[in-house]
């Protein structure tokens, strides 16, 4: 199943060479899509180029002109208001769209409750290293970027547009992604759909950016709280049903933006592989313990994690279970509370 209709939004401010390459790539890669070109008060050379494209595209384009540069996110929001397609793809002019990437994006629109779809874009975020070794065609994520970002109409109708009071970058995106999850929609990453993009240019002084970032972080924490990084261990006698129940809990927690490192014994890890739990969510990383010295392997893994994650929180993975190499582990209720469930250990 493919898109019934799609709008591709390109907010542009100057840099006609880059903008032209982006628009040409869209025309060649997505012949059925309508373009919404936003001239964000560009210089005359860029403006003439955009007007030329709009004339050639005719009914296949909507051309919007801003009297002043209102900023990237406000320009995106103005275009989203004009979009009535089933899906809207936002593309920064620093990126180009390939036919393969467009096809892979559209192939995921039939996923139940898909709200956001993002390809793999190193310019926006680093794909988790463990995914580079997995054959995941699609995986849920909380990491998104503006280089190429696809939003469903159903999602937009339910949660609205981006918060223009935030930074226009990472915190604005995190806020929107959390709203997506809170509304019951999924955010999907396509690992093998690579995007050619350069990092977005950040304007303004260092001090101004610092103030904006601080204000954005404050808004985010007020709305969504702090983000945590957990290490979870399942006892060796945990059966398949325990593993499935645990993964369901971890997935619900990961959807709220938290990171989870799950340590599994060899047989448990094999069950997880069979059920493709390694492709559930980017925020969940599974670790396989050594076959003959699992507790020594667990202690080493926790020590290494603590080196890179000083705020790591240790959680027992079963009710009434101990964490064998760590005293003072948090109860399982710690995770359950994050998603509004009761329980404890």
- 200: which DSSP letter? P
Residue-level pLDDT at 133: 60
Tokens of 289: 């313990």
- Whether 182 shows a pLDDT value over 90: the answer reads yes
Tokens of 90: 């936002």
- Whether 140 shows a pLDDT value over 80: the answer reads yes
Q: Average pLDDT, stretch 110-120?
A: 95
Q: Average pLDDT, stretch 103-119?
A: 95
Axis-axis angle for helices 99-107, 16-29 (nearest 10): 60
Residue-level pLDDT at 255: 96
Cα separation of 339 and 106, whole Å?
31
Residue-level pLDDT at 134: 63
Best CA proximity match to 19, nearest among 43, 325, 207? 43
Q: Considering only 57-61, 262-266, 270-274, 314-318, which range has the smallest mean pLDDT?
A: 314-318
| Contact assessment for residue 224 and residue 179, using Cβ atoms and an 8 Å cutoff | no
Residue-level pLDDT at 128: 75
| Residue ranges of domains in the chain, CATH in brackets | 6-223 (3.90.550.10), 229-338 (3.40.50)
Which is it for the CA torsion 272, 278, 280, 281, positive or negative? positive
CB crowding 221-255: b at 16 or more within 10 Å, else e: eeebeebbbbbbbbeeebeeebbeebbebbbbbbb
Cα separation of 184 and 113, whole Å?
7
Query: What pTM value is reported for the model?
Result: 0.93
- Whether 135 shows a pLDDT value over 50: the answer reads yes
Cα separation of 128 and 140, whole Å?
12
Q: Considering only 9-13, 95-99, 167-171, which range has the smallest mean pLDDT?
A: 167-171
- 60: which DSSP letter? G
Cβ of 293: how many Cβ atoms within 10 Å? 11
Q: Average pLDDT, stretch 303-314?
A: 94
Best CA proximity match to 317, nearest among 300, 298, 303, 304? 298
Best CA proximity match to 142, nearest among 290, 281, 23, 250? 281
For 225: left if phi > 0, alpha if psi spans -120 to 50, otherwise beta; the answer is: left
149 or 136, which is more confident? 149
- Whether 337 shows a pLDDT value over 60: the answer reads yes
What are the helix (H) ranges across 160-285? 170-182, 206-224, 240-254, 266-274
| Contact assessment for residue 234 and residue 241, using Cβ atoms and an 8 Å cutoff | no
Q: Average pLDDT, stretch 140-156?
A: 97
DSSP H or E run through 204: none
- Whether 1 shows a pLDDT value over 50: the answer reads no
Residue-level pLDDT at 311: 93
Q: Average pLDDT, stretch 38-48?
A: 97
DSSP letter string over 82-141?
H--SSEEEEE-TTEE--HHHHHHHHHTTTSTTEEEEEEE-TTT-PPPGGGGGS--S-EE-
Q: Tokens 């399982």 map to which residue? A: 332
- Whether 344 shows a pLDDT value over 70: the answer reads no
Tokens of 271: 């069950």
User: Which residues are within 8 A (CB) of 221 and not within 5 positions of it... i.e. 6 or more apart?
Assistant: none
- Whether 286 shows a pLDDT value over 70: the answer reads yes
Question: What confidence tier does 3 reach under pLDDT thresholds 50, 70, 90?
Answer: low
């Amino acid at each position: 199943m493919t898109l019934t209709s799609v709008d591709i939004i390109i907010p542009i401010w100057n840099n006609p060479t880059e903008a032209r390459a982006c628009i040409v790539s869209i025309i060649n890669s997505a012949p059925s899509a309508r373009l919404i070109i936003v001239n964000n008060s560009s210089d005359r050379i860029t403006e003439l180029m955009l007007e030329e494209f709009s004339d050639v595209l005719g009914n296949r384009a909507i051309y919007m002109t801003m009297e002043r540069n209102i900023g990237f996110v406000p320009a995106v929001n103005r275009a989203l208001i004009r979009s009535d397609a089933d899906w809207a793809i936002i593309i920064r002019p620093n990126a180009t769209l390939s036919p393969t990437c467009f096809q892979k994006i559209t192939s995921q629109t039939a996923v139940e409750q898909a709200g956001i779809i993002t390809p793999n874009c190193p310019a926006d975020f680093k794909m988790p290293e463990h995914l580079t070794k997995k054959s995941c065609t699609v995986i849920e994520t909380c990491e998104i970027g503006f280089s190429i970002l696809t939003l469903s109409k159903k999602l937009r109708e339910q949660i609205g547009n981006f918060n223009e009071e935030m930074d226009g970058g990472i915190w604005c995106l995190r806020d929107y992604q959390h709203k997506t999850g809170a509304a019951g929609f999924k955010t999907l990453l396509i690992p093998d759909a690579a995007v050619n993009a350069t990092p977005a240019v950040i304007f303004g002084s260092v001090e101004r950016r610092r103030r904006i970032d601080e204000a954005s972080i404050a808004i985010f924490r007020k709305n969504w709280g702090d983000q945590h990084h957990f290490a979870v261990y399942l006892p060796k006698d945990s059966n398949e049903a325990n593993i499935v129940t645990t993964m369901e809990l971890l997935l619900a927690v990961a959807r709220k933006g938290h990171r989870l490192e799950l340590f599994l014994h060899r047989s448990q890890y094999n069950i997880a592989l069979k059920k493709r739990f390694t492709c559930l969510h980017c925020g969940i990383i599974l670790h396989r313990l050594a076959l003959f010295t699992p507790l020594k392997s667990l202690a080493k893994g926790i020590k290494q994690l603590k080196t890179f994650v000083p705020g790591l929180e240790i959680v027992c993975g079963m009710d009434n279970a101990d964490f064998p190499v760590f005293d003072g582990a948090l109860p399982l209720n710690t995770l359950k509370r994050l998603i509004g469930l009761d329980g404890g250990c």
